[in-house]
Chain A
Amino acid sequence: MPEFPSGDWLNVYVERINSSSEYREAAATWEGDICYVFEAEPDKGVPEDLWAWLDLWHGECRGGKYGLTPEEGEKAKFIIRAPYSRWKEVINKELDPVKGMMQGKLKLKGDLPTIVRYVKAANELVNLAASVPTEFVDEKA
């Protein structure tokens, strides 16, 4: 079972995205890369901010990269950032990402009208993240 956050987890996530017909349909016209920033929580096993990048294009994920530098990550069209434990809540479906953004628990950088137009695709990305069998770094035996 891949550990979250890690490159292995991201690879499985990319596979899930590319095998989802729901995502393909909802994001058929989406153009733009996204960075997720898992912000440091040293007491939970995340000593520094970790950047994960997804190259999303017309309903597929053309590639993913884990462990980017902030300089590389900042170039992405959209950046969603939150502390590690918030991401854990999102993956466990305990926190709806749109509600989380309204509450300021997740922060989004990028063109808001585009995100709102593709809310269904964004929700599907969350559903797919939740579908990845995950071992959280702070729950490791």
Chain B
Amino acid sequence: MAVKVEYPDPEPNGLASMLGGLIEGNLEAHPNREALLAKPATYSITAPDVDVSVSIRLAPGAVTVRNGVVGTPQISIRTNSDNLMGMSSVPLKFGLPDSMTKEGREVNKKLFKGELKVKGMWTHLGALARLNKLLSVR
């Protein structure tokens, strides 16, 4: 049975519903991606232009999405809502944006320009790659 995303908040915010729905839909369509949950990891994602944040926790067989930034996540992602939605469609290589593609280079450009901030990227590269794969619709 596919993994069900858990939402501990009585009313998950819009971003939590969207990212949780994306992960749940992907796990249902690609059950092999459940292997990406084998190692625990914590993330926060913030879209400042719409003033919404979520925290995501991965654990074996479980995904939890909460409203707001909870605790000190291993990886904190901060970018505007358009970039956030676009990232799910970017071609990946080893779970990171594929710089051999135009879309992948665009993401890297945003990183260099500071339009996309990923705190903890270098210390938790594997965890970032796993989240990217879980959110990818490709």
Interface positions of A (Cβ within 8 A of B):
96, 98-108, 111-114, 116-117, 119
Contacts and interface: CB of A to CB of B under 8 A. Distances in A.
Nearest to B12: A104
Contacts of B25: 111-114
A23 to B, nearest CB: 18
B12 to A, nearest CB: 8
Which of B25, B49, B51 has the largest number of chain A CB atoms within 10 A? B25
Given A104-B11, A112-B21, A116-B89, 4 more contacts: A102-B84, A112-B18, A112-B24, A114-B25
Interface in B100-138: 137
Q: How large is the interface on B (under 10, 10 to 19, 20 to 34, 35 or more residues)?
A: 20 to 34
A112 B13 CA distance: 15
B72 to A, nearest CB: 24
Given A101-B18, A104-B14, A113 B29 contact: yes
B79 interface: no
A113 B21 CA distance: 8
Nearest to A96: B81
Provide the main secondary structure of the chain B interface: helix
A69 B75 CA distance: 45
A102 B81 CA distance: 8
Nearest to B82: A98
Contact of B22 (A99, A103, A112): A112
B30 to A, nearest CB: 9
B3 to A, nearest CB: 15
Interface in B69-111: 81-82, 84-86, 88-89
A96 B85 CA distance: 13
B18 A103 contact: no
